[in-house]
Chains A and B, each alone.
Chain A
Amino acid sequence: MKITIVDYGAGNVPSVERALQRLGADSQRTTSPECVSNAEALLLPGVGHIAALVRALDEQNLRAPLIDAIHRGVPFLGICLGLQVLYESSEEAPQLNGLHLLPGKVSALPSNVKLPHMGWNQVAVKLESRLLQGIPKDAYFYFAHSYAARDSNEAAVATCTHGAEFAAILEQQNIYAVQFHPEKSGAPGARVLQNFLRLAA
């Protein structure tokens, strides 16, 4: 099984690739609609401004094949912005359309806490999580973001709190997404990726 990484130019693509390599996984980067359509498993990393991600998906005609593949049941893992883009829209770029795969909007974290929410934080497990299998409950993950999915959503199997509670891990059928960066979260992060590889196999 090969993981197809949607490479829209995000800075963390090489880190994700290295993390997958360390787990012995086969991966390829792509910017082509055909490759997305034919993918066995998809990974959408992201860091920075969500407008860059949404625009790249549209300019490279990746939106439709991506949504189509996910609807067909292709295992999908979204990281950081790759989680946020699953919703209808984000306050960071309200004029742009998300992928509408999950209901609700992404909003800014409250301004009474230090932003960005950056560093190592723990998650509160709400429902049994497939991505968290084998990971201690008190594990820390690396977060770096100012916007988050704060609407309650049944896909959110784990949440994190920084000023407000938000979705840290989403799992809904073949859709998996994490707000933290598993590729930068040491051993627990590697285990999250490994769990995804196993689920996607």
Chain B
Amino acid sequence: MSLAHRIIPCLDTDGDRVVKGVNFVGLRDAGDPVALAARYNAEGADELVVLDIAASRDRRPTFLETIRRVAAQLAIPLTAGGGIRTLEDARAVVRAGADKITVNTAAVERPELISELSREFGAQAVVLAIDAKRSGDHWDVMVRGGRESASRNAVAWAKGGVGCGAGEILLTSVDRDGTQSGFDVALTAAISKSVMPVNHSALPCKSSVHRTIAARVGAARKKLLIQPSRTADSGHKSETLKIRRARFNLLSHVPDSPVNNGGLSTSRKSERLNKKLPSTAEEQAKDK
């Protein structure tokens, strides 16, 4: 009995539409958030994240309405954020139906925001989003939608954010975002080692599980939450990927896609998922 790894589609929205880009730029329309939310819910996603990437004040009511309509579709937890700067902003998002709030730029500028939210809603409801970009031998925290460097070490910031009361981290590799070139495993490992549950974003690597899921989640920028089970000394190496059975439904409508060319039948893939899989790191190494 242990926590299952979670598959968490993340919908970046602008107004009432889902958008998708590569490395945070070149956004294009990717559909209706309400319809996508209903589909992910029905097909076995573990949670859903909806981010307002425009985060402009005048479009806030539209975003809150999107949250309301998305929440009405879900029987799974909903995390929402983008542009949350104050406790009052967060309350509005929670009132609209979010179970958790995610903060990013505002928390970098004023880390006490995390404590304020944690006190009001509990640590389990506070998700610290970190957009990290490699810079030499470390990763920099990027803010304002990945456009500006905060000149802060991402690993240290993760630890600091957790110290302030964040219950989860939603980690996005700016370098890998939308490129379908795999997780930044080194980044995840570094942050995971320093903290706790890491919400790993930035996409489909070549391991079968991620490939399959990535293809399925195709419409939007996606985040997979990889929560390594606690084997103190093993790090990622000997981890196995445990996924709830419901997840197998994800496989039933996998469209053909460049990242889903395994050629296995649905049932074979299910079998494969059902077995203990080698870790992401191992498979990635193998694929290289």
Contacts and interface: CB of A to CB of B under 8 A. Distances in A.
Interface of A: 11-12, 14-15, 18-19, 22, 47-49, 113-124, 138, 140, 142, 144-146, 160-162, 181, 183-187, 189-190
A144 B97 contact: no
A15 B71 contact: yes
Contacts, number: 95
A140 B245 CA distance: 9
Interface residues on B, range: 20 to 34
Given A47-B122, A120-B46, A142-B76, A12 B246 contact: no
A121 B71 contact: no
Contacts of A120: 3-4, 6, 46, 244
B121 interface: yes
18 contacts: A12-B99, A22-B75, A48-B122, A113-B230, A118-B124, A119-B197, A120-B3, A120-B4, A120-B6, A140-B4, A140-B244, A142-B76, A144-B99, A162-B3, A183-B75, A184-B99, A185-B76, A187-B75
A183 B71 CA distance: 12
B245 A186 contact: no
Interface in B81-127: 94, 97, 99, 119-125
Given A47-B124, A138-B245, A145-B124, A119 B4 contact: yes
A115 B196 contact: yes
B72 interface: yes
Nearest to A181: B77
Interface in B54-83: 71-72, 75-77
Interface string B209-249: 00000000000000001010010000000000000111000
B75 A146 contact: no
Given A12-B99, A146-B123, 10 more contacts: A14-B71, A14-B97, A47-B122, A49-B122, A113-B230, A120-B6, A138-B245, A181-B77, A184-B76, A186-B41
B146 interface: no
Contacts of A138: 245
B168 interface: yes
B167 interface: yes
A121 B4 CA distance: 6
A140 B125 contact: no
Given A48-B125, A115-B196, A119-B3, A184 B168 contact: no
Given A47-B124, A48-B125, A118-B124, A140 B71 contact: no
B1 A119 contact: no
B76 A186 contact: yes
Closest 3 CB pairs of A and B: A48-B122, A144-B124, A114-B196
Contacts of A124: 1
A46 to B, nearest CB: 10
B135 interface: no
B75 A19 contact: yes
B188 to A, nearest CB: 14
